[in-house]
Amino acid sequence: MEKPIQHIETEIALVGGGPSALMAATFLLDAGLKVRLYEYTSSLAKKFNVAGKSGLNLTNSLEDPSFIEMYGDDAAWIRPFILNFNNKDLRETLLHFLGIETYIGSSGKVFPKEDLSGARFIKLWIKYLKGQGLAVFTHHKFIGWIDDNALQFEDRSGDLITVYAKKAMLAMGGVSWPMTGSDGNWIDSFKAKGIQLAPWQASNCGVQISADATFFEKWNGQFLKNVQLSLNGKSVKGEIRISRYGFEGKPIYHLVPEIRKELRKGDDCTLSLDFKANMSAENLLKKLEELKGNSLSKTLKSLSVHPSFSMLLKIYQLDYTTSVDLVKWIKSFPIRVEELADIKKAISVVGGVSKEELNEDLSLKKVPNSYLAGEMIDWDAPTGGYLLQACFSMAKTVADSMIEDLKF
Ligand SMILES: Cc1cc2nc3c(=O)[nH]c(=O)nc-3n(C[C@H](O)[C@H](O)[C@H](O)COP(=O)(O)OP(=O)(O)OC[C@H]3O[C@@H](n4cnc5c(N)ncnc54)[C@H](O)[C@@H]3O)c2cc1C
């Protein structure tokens, strides 16, 4: 016998309980709307909690327009969402609704106040929303639309629930860290509607570099400090972590869009690594002349160049007989990238719903009362708070549009 289908009516259905949903719920509840939140896994905000493990970097204090420029090729598309709700608005919102202060840390990164862990911050936010009347349904998986206002879910026991919502926001995330629930399970329901999807690719991830197993075994976990990485005229300073397969860290993450372009073309992708970014080539040459006669390892130690450099010279079979050669390799070592790291371990992804499928208020052209926000849309941003800020800004745009449509 077929199981009966449960029918539910609501003003707003939020689908996927990540940071985008928490932000939309904050404004929708404040406007007095009835909001139900459906989450596929056992609890809300699993990936948001992962992000909070090493300090929850909510946004960045960089001023517009520099802030928006950080979105690279997607800056023009993201611009209206950030202008509608920027980093200052976010900080004021958290203070106004949750009473939580934020502070600016290193490199302009913004975090919840110092004595509040990421996990506690998220708990407080969810508690606040439930106190405002948010109805939360975990173990409810979105499986598709029946019509423009009817969304279908499957619960843990396989029962079907149809939710008739005046408006719905879907924010079901990308495909990295799939154990958090963001695993792209929703793709078929979008394809069934004829919605165009771009292929998933890792972003803000490490890269596999050409080197041998001994190199990775020896240096795994060590940091190359004060280095600069360059590709196609773009340079990023910072710290690189040597991993079991390659390099990780800010300079890599910020160059991933460029690296991805090169790899997609099928070309060799060679990064230029400056091991001594805080010293000019001229000064380095002078120092090397002074240190002439010393062994390479002693010379590198005196210059505070990481010892992995000499191993790389041998692996890449580079000639370093003169000081001029050595300066050249220290200031621009040609690191060959083999591929991007495993998408499952990436901090974020690109791919998902094509931007062309969305109206300006982020409603779907093919399902007008359903809106999207967050990482399930095909956009890119570097780490540093820009990912979460974009999710929050999109969610605010969606909430504004829903409130305007339903209240007036
Ligand atoms: C290790 C790590 C560190 C990070 N650090 C930072 C940082 O410091 N700063 C920063 O800005 N960003 C950071 N991020 C990125 C940030 O966490 C994401 O950009 C953000 O969580 C995306 O939010 P979202 O709302 O789009 O979706 P998600 O957070 O991915 O949430 C989507 C939700 O939808 C649910 N879902 C999926 N399918 C269905 C379905 N069919 N039905 C119902 N629910 C469904 C999922 O279970 C999940 O709960 C980090 C990410 C990782 C992995």
Report the C-alpha gap between 343 and 272 in whole angstroms.
24
Q: What is the pLDDT of residue 106?
A: 82
Q: Which residue has a Cα nearest atom 47 of ligand 1?
A: 181
Same domain, 115 and 141: yes
Q: Give domain status of residue 1, yes or no.
A: no
**CATH number of the domain encompassing residue 60:** 3.50.50.60
Report the C-alpha gap between 334 and 274 in whole angstroms.
9
Neighbours of 112 (CB within 10 A): 24
Q: What is the pLDDT of residues 317-363, one digit of tens each?
A: 999 989 999 999 999 999 999 999 999 999 999 999 999 999 999 99
Q: Which residue has a Cα nearest atom 8 of ligand 1?
A: 57
What's the burial of 323, exposed, middle or buried (CB within 10 Å: 0-12/13-18/19+)?
middle
Asked if the bond preceding 65 is cis, omega within 30° of 0, the reply is: yes
Token pair 């106040």 is at which residue?
113
Same domain, 310 and 361: no
Can you give the pTM of this predicted structure? 0.92
Same domain, 270 and 313: yes
Backbone angle region of 184, left / alpha / beta, with phi > 0 → left and psi within -120 to 50 → alpha: left
Same domain, 193 and 222: no
For the residues of 304-333, what is the DSSP string, one character each? T--THHHHHHHHTT----SHHHHHHHHH-E
Q: Give domain status of residue 180, yes or no.
A: yes
Q: Give domain status of residue 189, yes or no.
A: yes
Same domain, 19 and 163: yes
- C-alpha of residue 178 to centroid of ligand 1, in Å: 10
- C-alpha of residue 248 to centroid of ligand 1, in Å: 20
Note down the domain range covering 273: 207-340
Pocket test for ligand 1, best of 182, 256, 353, 378 (most atoms within 8 A of CB): 182
Q: Which residue has a Cα nearest atom 14 of ligand 1?
A: 51
Q: Give domain status of residue 291, yes or no.
A: yes
Q: What residue ranges line ligand 1, CB within 6 angstroms?
A: 15-20, 38-41, 46-48, 50-51, 57, 141-142, 171-173, 176-177, 181-182, 185-186, 347-348, 374-375, 383, 385, 387-388, 391
Q: What is the pLDDT of residues 102-137, one digit of tens each?
A: 999 988 999 999 789 999 999 999 999 999 999 999
List Cβ neighbours of 217 (8 Å cut-off, separation of 6 or more).
none
Same domain, 109 and 256: no
Q: What is the pLDDT of residue 408?
A: 62
Residue 168 in contact with residue 14, Cβ under 8 Å?
A: yes
Residue 345 in contact with residue 50, Cβ under 8 Å?
A: no
Q: Give domain status of residue 309, yes or no.
A: yes
- C-alpha of residue 47 to centroid of ligand 1, in Å: 5
- C-alpha of residue 246 to centroid of ligand 1, in Å: 25
Same domain, 306 and 355: no
What total number of domains does the chain contain? 2
DSSP E strands, 84-222: 102-104, 109-112, 135-137, 141-147, 150-154, 160-170, 197-203, 207-209
Q: What is the pLDDT of residues 173-229, one digit of tens each?
A: 999 999 999 999 999 999 999 999 999 999 999 999 999 999 999 999 999 999 999
Q: Looking at the DSSP assignment, which residues form a beta bridge with residue 26?
A: none
295, 318, 340 - which closes a domain:
340
List Cβ neighbours of 100 (8 Å cut-off, separation of 6 or more).
94, 112, 113, 116, 121, 124
> Ligand 1 atom closest to Cα of 384?
9
- What is the average pLDDT value for the chain, to the nearest integer? 95
Pocket test for ligand 1, best of 172, 241, 342, 380 (most atoms within 8 A of CB): 172
Same domain, 116 and 190: yes
What's the burial of 138, exposed, middle or buried (CB within 10 Å: 0-12/13-18/19+)?
middle
Residue 334 in contact with residue 316, Cβ under 8 Å?
A: yes
Q: Looking at the DSSP assignment, which residues form a beta bridge with residue 10?
A: 165
Q: What is the pLDDT of residues 2-58, one digit of tens each?
A: 666 789 999 999 999 999 999 999 999 999 999 999 999 999 999 999 999 988 999
Same domain, 37 and 162: yes
For residue 271, give the H/E element and its range: strand 269-274
